[in-house]
Amino acid sequence: MAQNDGILNLNRAICVAAGEAEKADQQPLALSKDEALMYGIYLNDYVKSLSQIQPSLIPRPTFDSYISSLKAKSRPPPTEPLVHIKITHTAINHVDLLYAHGVHQNNKSGLFVPPFTLGLEFGGIVLNVMQPSTTPSQKCHVKPGDKVWGGSIGTHAEELILPASAVHLLPSPKWSLHEMAALGAGTIPVSYGALTTIAGLKAGETILVHAAAGGLGVYAVQIARALGARVIGTVGSVHKVSVVEGLLRDPNTGEIPRGEGVVNYSKDGWEKEILAICNQVAKDGVDVVYDTVGLVTKSIRCTTFNGRIVVAGFAARTGTGAEKVDELEKVAVNRILLKQIKVLGYRFGETSRRLPQETIKMWKGLNEMLAREERVIKPVVYATYKGLDNVNEAMEALSQRKVYGKAVIEVCDEHEALREVQQRTDQSQKGGLARL
């Protein structure tokens, strides 16, 4: 969608929000925003169609409103500093599709029910940091003007307030906010945690990464390589074969090393192709499987004795999230016994909630990998969409399996945002009118 069309859409959203729907179809209006309002993808209810996903004017978050909202939801007061962030980029996550339609387990458990602002990952700039009176005085690792990234619900918006532990400094100045959004703080840590903490993937082992061109997949491929493992990826289309082959080719020779490769799992019998690739290096199967699709039974056929299968998602079951879902895969347990397979579940969000120390360790390892002098992880961007009014188009592309890597939303220009934050910070330091 052209950017001008986006402005028209945004104007329509303003008019509708202001109860002036008849103006919405007229020529573009000048954008004027109340200081207390911002744009966000706010869902009053689950959607039936992705076209219902439109930005609207919603209250700009303040520290007071954040604390009041905790009280309103009967949640405990903050136990750590709060960080107010100006979002420059967000990315589309498969889970956005599920949340929008209300079919994620967190919707069913009542953790996230409408109304809420959609979006799970962001890159942005710190506007301000606040020490709530309920917390002991403690130093915060970020300050106004810092570039940060993180994962939390509510990122498809212009601003967000988060507890400090959910906000991460960029691993090195070499990374841009656009790139960090493309890694996705709700994406790359999932694959890092699955491969390191859960699978215990070691150098010299072979991992089978299903949906290797998907959001989790493209980073699992690169993380596994950085850990010294061999990778075999599966994908569902010819185009995605070349995306993953591009990640596996030796930059000097252009060749894919023996014992690695990409297999199209839309053709029956793909398991034999996986075994043939393993045989190139005298292996009788893969050591680890990273399954985000729902392919455990067929994966067992590809696994060596004593192999590990990490179950992290069911993309094939959920599709767009709107359609009728199929039954979950049922696995004959004798197959697990015969090969002495370990089937390991992984739920990133729940691990963060229940095992915060494990999550801190995971982030440390990931940030060290991302900060390496020679970049071992490269962002994979399907497309960058300008403006929150294109979130629905990007989600549509994801639901149709067109997206490889990540679809990124540029909420605002990174350099302009930095200048604006700097100005607001200067004004507030001079006791001026800044809202900080």
Residues that bind ligand NAP (CB under 6 A): 93-95, 98, 187, 190, 211, 213-217, 235-237, 240, 292-293, 312-316, 318-319, 346-349, 398, 401
Which residue, 402, 417, 385, is CA-closest to 119?
Answer: 385
CB of 311 to ligand NAP, least distance (A): 8
Which residue, 99, 101, 45, is CA-closest to 323?
Answer: 101
Give the nearer residue to ligand NAP in terms of CB position, either 39 or 348. Answer: 348
Please state the φ and ψ torsions of residue 410, each to the nearest 5 degrees.
-90, 105
Distances (CA, A) of 370 to 225, 287, 406: 13, 25, 17
Q: Residue 374: CB partners within 8 Å, gap ≥ 6?
A: none
CB of 156 to ligand NAP, least distance (A): 16
Using CB atoms, what's the residue nearest to ligand NAP? Answer: 313
- Paired residues of 37 in beta bridges: 59
CB of 211 to ligand NAP, least distance (A): 3
Give the nearer residue to ligand NAP in terms of CB position, either 96 or 159. Answer: 96
Q: In terms of DSSP bridges, do strands 406-410 and 381-386 run parallel, antiparallel, or are they unpaired?
A: parallel
Give the whole-angstrom CA distance, residue 147 versus residue 414: 10
Give the nearer residue to ligand NAP in terms of CB position, either 86 or 298. Answer: 298
Residue with tokens 């150098």: 203
Cα angle 99, 103, 106 (rounded to 5 degrees) comes to: 65
Give the nearer residue to ligand NAP in terms of CB position, either 123 or 236. Answer: 236
Give the nearer residue to ligand NAP in terms of CB position, either 33 or 108. Answer: 108
Give the whole-angstrom CA distance, residue 34 versus residue 60: 9
SS3 label, residue 37: strand
CB of 316 to ligand NAP, least distance (A): 4
Q: In terms of DSSP bridges, do strands 286-291 and 303-311 run parallel, antiparallel, or are they unpaired?
A: parallel
Q: Residue 205: CB partners within 8 Å, gap ≥ 6?
A: 229, 230, 287, 288
Give the nearer residue to ligand NAP in terms of CB position, either 312 or 417. Answer: 312
Give the nearer residue to ligand NAP in terms of CB position, either 124 or 214. Answer: 214
Give the whole-angstrom CA distance, residue 162 versus residue 64: 13
CB of 271 to ligand NAP, least distance (A): 16
Give the nearer residue to ligand NAP in terms of CB position, either 131 or 237. Answer: 237
Secondary-structure percent of the chain, ordered helix, strand, coil, rounded to 5: 40, 20, 40
Give the nearer residue to ligand NAP in terms of CB position, either 139 or 267. Answer: 267
Would you put residue 36 in left (φ > 0), alpha (ψ -120 to 50) or beta?
A: alpha
Give the nearer residue to ligand NAP in terms of CB position, either 159 or 260. Answer: 260
Residue 130, CB-side half-sphere exposure with 13 Å CA sphere: 20
Give the whole-angstrom CA distance, residue 150 versus residue 124: 9
